[in-house]
């Protein structure tokens, strides 16, 4: 396929938009620096309990499982909180699939919106920040907004559930000095940060198991339904390379690949059903599928430092997983809670085994559901969340505000 030519007028618009972005960010950083100097005059006695800064867009999976499930519980306890989002998942997606000037406009809007939100956070006795305060922008070098927040707030928790230090080390490590506590969702990531901050908390992703309808039985559908859910980039990087294996298996098994997300591949051999992610149908799709695919190709050391949230969905639904062993949550045991693929060459044999052995599918499916019910309750995670964010900073735990 030949690349589509970009017209001169479009190139000019993109260059002007990029110049506008650079000017906007320069003014924004100047404003943030001035506000940092004026911080002693801007501080206010706290009259709110908690400020939450999501990194994930409103309506996205990361928004929901990291803290969204807690919002009704915070309300129920009478805690006064504010969530300071950027933009919705659809708005972010539309900006990144269109002309580049839309991305530039989004970056500028995010920075200025967040600048105003940081000022509002000075009213809160605790602040919870997901990853960083300037999401979506790829060229961050200094934590400008985090430093302003540090000057205005005295109890800041910075949360990570991906190894962002691998692709943005400079700004990530610099932001540690702006937080009193760091949260991570797996022990290996905690080891990476242990020497860089005195207060690290291990806090797994939360899952509301009651939302998931357990599989009624483990007899194969006709056709057998193999499910994958993920962002377009992950579909292309991890699922598409597996199509050859599925096409070969389709000679012996009647297969249907169900792909949930914004993008699905095509195949001349395997039937592929593409579904948009909708909460009303997602849980039904999990319960009605036979196997969940969890391929992660390459970068195994990187994948070990993260937890793939989709695996928690599969486990909570009792859906047997066939996949790699990197990216699993704490406590998930390969062979007991899922069917492991230890090498790329193992995929054909492990998928064939899973399709042929109904007792194996039922054993790992039920064990995965039981594991989630025991270890991933919303109430338990909410108690940990409150303990972490509201605990008072101790001397020497972070750089204090000036």
160: left (phi over 0), alpha (psi -120 to 50) or beta: beta
Asked if 262 and 278 count as a contact pair (C-beta separation under 8 A), the reply is no
Residues 176 and 109 in one domain: yes
365 vs 290: CA distance, rounded Å: 10
Q: Tell how far CA 330 is from the center of its chain.
A: 16
Which of 181, 197, 207, 211 has the alpha carbon at shortest distance from 67? 207
In a domain, 260, yes or no: yes
In a domain, 402, yes or no: no
- Tell me the C-alpha to C-alpha distance, in Å, between residue 12 and each of 23, 26, 99, 132: 17, 21, 12, 32
332 vs 402: CA distance, rounded Å: 44
Question: Which pLDDT value is given to residue 402?
Answer: 43
Question: Which pLDDT value is given to residue 60?
Answer: 77
- In degrees and rounded to multiples of 5, residue 63 shows phi and psi of -65, -45
In a domain, 395, yes or no: no
Residues 49 and 198 in one domain: yes
Residues 86 and 227 in one domain: no
In a domain, 400, yes or no: no
Residues 147 and 260 in one domain: no
Helices and strands, number each (H, E), in the chain: 17, 12
Residues 260 and 182 in one domain: no
In a domain, 367, yes or no: yes
Q: Residue 331 corresponds to which tokens in the numbers above?
A: 């406590």
Q: Residue 337 corresponds to which tokens in the numbers above?
A: 């809670």
Residues 144 and 182 in one domain: yes
In a domain, 314, yes or no: yes
Residues 196 and 141 in one domain: yes
Q: Where are the beta strands (DSSP E) in 172-223?
A: 181-184, 200-202
Number of domains in the chain: 2
Question: Which pLDDT value is given to residue 309?
Answer: 87
Asked if 330 and 381 count as a contact pair (C-beta separation under 8 A), the reply is no
Report the predicted TM-score, pTM, of the whole model to 2 decimal places: 0.87
Which of 388, 199, 213, 399 has the alpha carbon at shortest distance from 317? 213
Residues 229 and 327 in one domain: yes
In a domain, 283, yes or no: yes
**Structural domain containing residue 138:** 21-206+379-390
Question: Which pLDDT value is given to residue 400?
Answer: 46
Give the CATH number, domain containing residue 104: 3.40.50.2000
Residues 217 and 89 in one domain: no
Residues 26 and 175 in one domain: yes
Residues 383 and 366 in one domain: no
Which of 176, 158, 143, 131 has the alpha carbon at shortest distance from 36? 143
305 vs 191: CA distance, rounded Å: 10
In a domain, 9, yes or no: no
pLDDT tens, N- to C-terminus, the chain (402 residues): 334 456 667 678 889 999 999 999 999 999 999 999 999 999 889 999 999 999 988 877 778 888 888 999 999 999 999 999 999 888 888 899 888 999 999 999 999 999 999 999 999 999 999 999 999 999 999 999 999 999 999 899 999 988 999 989 999 999 999 999 999 988 999 999 999 999 999 988 888 898 899 888 999 999 999 999 998 989 999 999 999 999 999 999 999 999 999 999 999 999 999 999 888 789 999 999 999 999 987 677 788 888 888 999 999 999 999 999 998 988 999 999 999 998 889 999 999 999 999 999 999 999 999 999 988 888 888 999 999 999 998 765 554 444
Residues 242 and 200 in one domain: no
341 CB-contact burial (10 Å; exposed 0-12 / middle 13-18 / buried 19+): buried
């Amino acid at each position: 396929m030949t690349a589509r030519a970009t017209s001169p007028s479009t190139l000019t618009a993109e260059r002007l938009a990029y110049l506008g972005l650079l000017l906007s960010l320069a003014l924004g950083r100047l404003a943030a620096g001035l506000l940092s100097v004026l911080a002693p005059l801007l501080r206010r006695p706290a009259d709110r309990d908690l400020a939450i800064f999501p990194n994930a867009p409103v309506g996205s999976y990361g928004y929901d499982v990291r803290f969204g499930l807690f919002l009704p519980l915070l309300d129920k306890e009478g805690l006064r909180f504010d969530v300071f989002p950027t933009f919705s998942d659809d708005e972010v997606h539309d900006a990144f699939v269109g002309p580049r000037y839309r991305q530039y406009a989004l970056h500028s809007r995010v920075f200025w919106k967040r600048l105003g939100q940081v000022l509002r956070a000075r009213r809160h006795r605790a602040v919870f920040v997901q990853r960083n305060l300037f999401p979506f922008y790829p060229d961050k070098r200094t934590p400008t907004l985090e430093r302003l927040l540090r000057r205005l707030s005295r109890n800041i928790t910075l949360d990570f559930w991906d190894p962002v230090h691998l692709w943005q080390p400079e700004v990530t490590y610099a932001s540690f000095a702006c937080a009193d506590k760091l949260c991570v969702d797996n022990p290996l990531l905690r080891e990476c940060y242990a020497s860089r901050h005195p207060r690290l908390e291990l806090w797994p992703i939360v899952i509301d198991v009651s939302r998931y309808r357990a599989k009624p039985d483990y007899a194969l559908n006709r056709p057998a339904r193999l499910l994958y859910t993920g962002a377009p980039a992950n579909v292309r990087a991890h699922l598409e390379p597996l199509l050859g294996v599925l096409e070969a298996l389709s000679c012996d098994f009647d297969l249907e690949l169900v792909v949930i997300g914004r993008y699905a591949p095509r195949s001349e051999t395997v039937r592929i059903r593409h579904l948009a992610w909708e909460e009303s149908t997602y849980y039904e799709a999990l319960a009605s599928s036979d196997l969940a695919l969890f391929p992660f190709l390459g970068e195994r050391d990187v994948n070990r430092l993260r937890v793939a949230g989709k695996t928690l969905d599969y486990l909570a639904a009792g859906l047997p997983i066939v996949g790699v062993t990197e990216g699993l949550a704490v406590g998930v045991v390969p062979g007991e809670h899922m069917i492991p693929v230890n090498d790329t060459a193992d995929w054909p044999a492990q998928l064939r085994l899973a399709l042929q052995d109904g007792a194996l599918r039922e054993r790992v499916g039920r064990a995965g559901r039981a594991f989630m019910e025991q270890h991933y309750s919303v109430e338990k995670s909410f108690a940990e969340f409150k303990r972490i964010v509201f605990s008072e900073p101790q001397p020497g735990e972070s750089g204090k505000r000036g």
